[in-house]
Structure 1
Amino acid sequence: MKPLPNEIVLRPRFQIASSENKETVLQKFENVSEPPFLVNRLDDHVFIKFNVKNNHFWSPQLHLEIDEVDETNCQINAIFGPNPTLWTFFMFIHFVIATLFIIIGIWAYTSAALNKPYHFQMGSMVVITVLWFVLYFLGRSGKKKGKPQMHQLHGFAMKVLTK
């Protein structure tokens, strides 16, 4: 397994080859109860996140997918990600901003083609661009704030797997 990188990656991933069968690995996570972690299993997927007390807006979660290699071995594919609600919200905001930018750009082009003033539209496009950069840096700072918890999740998963 590669160690976690020091830089912030959008959705860091890692893989672990296990010499145990899939059901044994899944059972390890099913039977564990260790605060501050909440472990949920859905079929061959395990989701590890923080309890409400230790959860903040930028808290990450760890998604493990356990794939069977053969009857005695499995592979664990892991991916860190933000809370799905937060992820969906950020994607929605980016979609709205991009849509507004395109609409206002068309409006500005139309006004320019008709020899009408288009200063408002151009100013709005600049404001939207600045807003997009603000969102980008908010997201980066949020990921930085969640990085210590990401390491805690990784440590917990490794501890459970090595039991």
Structure 2
Amino acid sequence: MEKNITLRLRFYTVATKSFDTVLKEFEELKSEIEPDYKVKILDNHIWISLGVLQREKYSPHLHLQLEPMEDGNTAVNGLYGPDPVLWTFFIFLHFLIAVIFLVASVSAYTKVRLHQNYTIEIIIIALMLFSWFLLYYMARRNRKKGMPQMNQLQTIMERVIH
């Protein structure tokens, strides 16, 4: 039976181990699972991602932030996210579409006020709206395609946390 991860890509859990024990176990896990998975550890942050051979453009990565608790346990804040390069590209596309949409809207308004033909601006505005919906659809599709890999990352994390 496949594990179900909620639509919220953030989560919080508590490891019933000390902060130092959790870090030590992730260090040990790092050498055990490479090259299938990549684990980076910096201070109280841990990044887990798929190895180069398994990675696809939609492959997620898991970022964990560990915080020691007063009772000796460790608080774990987790965040699943897309590849940072892909995320930056998507943000760039959104920004570009927004700028083109804004320029076309201002140009259309100006031409309407001057009683000139504004058909091209309306076409550009419609294309930008379509592009926004297309980006949204692509992001949802990539997220859905990455769900099995998210489950793999979850399993790797649970080997240490639980």
2:54 partner amino acid? N
Contact 1:20 1:73 in 2 (8 A): yes
- The range that moved more, 91-100 or 32-41, is 32-41
| Distance in structure 1 (CA, Å) of the matches to 2:124 and 2:144 | 30
Contact 1:22 1:66 in 2 (8 A): yes
Partner in structure 2 of residue 103 of structure 1: 103
Partner in structure 1 of residue 158 of structure 2: 158
2:10 partner amino acid? R
**Following TM superposition, by how much is the alpha carbon of 1:161 offset from its aligned partner in structure 2, in angstroms?**
2.3
**Following TM superposition, by how much is the alpha carbon of 1:16 offset from its aligned partner in structure 2, in angstroms?**
1.4
Partner in structure 2 of residue 120 of structure 1: 120
CA-based RMSD of the aligned residues comes to 1.3
2:21 partner amino acid? T
Q: How does 1:125-136 map to 2 (within 5 A)?
A: 125-136=125-136
**Aligned partner (choices 23, 28, 33) of residue 25 of structure 2:** 28
Partner in structure 1 of residue 138 of structure 2: 138
Partner in structure 2 of residue 4 of structure 1: 5
What is the percentage of aligned positions where both structures have the same residue?
A: 35
Partner in structure 2 of residue 86 of structure 1: 86
**Following TM superposition, by how much is the alpha carbon of 1:4 offset from its aligned partner in structure 2, in angstroms?**
2.1
1:30 partner amino acid? E
Q: TM-score normalized by structure 2? A: 0.91
| Distance in structure 1 (CA, Å) of the matches to 2:5 and 2:136 | 23
- Segments of structure 1 that go 5 or more residues without pairing to the other structure are none
Aligned length, in residue pairs: 156
- Segments of structure 2 that go 5 or more residues without pairing to the other structure are none
**Following TM superposition, by how much is the alpha carbon of 1:18 offset from its aligned partner in structure 2, in angstroms?**
1.9
| Distance in structure 2 (CA, Å) of the matches to 1:93 and 1:108 | 22
Q: TM-score normalized by structure 1? A: 0.91
- CA displacement 1:7-35 (0-9 Å, x = unmatched): xx3x6112111222211111111121214
Q: Aligned pair 1:54/2:54, yes or no?
A: yes
| Distance in structure 1 (CA, Å) of the matches to 2:89 and 2:24 | 33
**Following TM superposition, by how much is the alpha carbon of 1:71 offset from its aligned partner in structure 2, in angstroms?**
6.2
